[in-house]
Chains A and B, each alone.
Chain A
Amino acid sequence: KAGVTQTPRYLIKTRGQQVTLSCSPISGHRSVSWYQQTPGQGLQFLFEYFSETQRNKGNFPGRFSGRQFSNSRSEMNVSTLELGDSALYLCASSLEGSSNQPQHFGDGTRLSIL
């Protein structure tokens, strides 16, 4: 069974640009969550999508957005990139996003802002 796939693995952008990251969940998983991981703040929740709808949102500015398609694949977009957006962005999927279901993480997209 294929795991969670994130593309690209590495990305270099400059300030002011925008970026789109992609996540393909495990087949059959309908919940996709996105996280930002930095050495200073650790793993922080961005948002969760379920059945193409954003169900929960963390405390990030509106520059961070996402969407989910009918096949459960998800994309995350960051506009007007800032130096502080440099981080590892992780995607996780689960069957329905409830607390008794394990989350399966992808290996992340390493985003560097110059």
Chain B
Amino acid sequence: TQLLEQSPQFLSIQEGENLTVYCNSSSVFSSLQWYRQEPGEGPVLLVTVVTGGEVKKLKRLTFQFGDARKDSSLHITAAQPGDTGLYLCAGPVRGGSYIPTFGRGTSLIVHP
């Protein structure tokens, strides 16, 4: 059983479309992080959300942390081929050192 469930698992869209991917858990997280991983590379941190209800924007990407800190979403406006990649959410499982648990990711393909 995954502590963090991500949906959808796969997403294939055309350039210019909007999309939202989700990261859900039955557990409360002190923070959640979103990463993007491109083929042949390691994940790159996009954002960390720490406060329930928090919204952060990174250009065309909007991240939201649920009020109860059990879920998060990533919305991409006017997707571009450069957005193609695996989007991973992660959260710490222990209160001390940061040892994240990862969702299995949403694989996004944006066609030109």
Contacts and interface: CB of A to CB of B under 8 A. Distances in A.
Interface of A: 4, 31, 33, 35, 41-45, 48, 50, 55-56, 58, 90, 92, 94, 97-108
Contacts of B102: 35, 42-44
Interface of B: 2, 30-31, 33, 35, 40-45, 48, 50, 88, 90, 92, 94, 97-105
B43 A98 contact: no
A108 B98 contact: no
Instruction: Please classify the interface of chain A as helix (H, G, I), strand (E, B), loop, or mixed, using the class held by over half of its residues.
Output: strand
Contacts of B31: 99-100
Contacts of A33: 99
B99 A48 contact: yes
Contact of B42 (A56, A90, A99, A101): A90
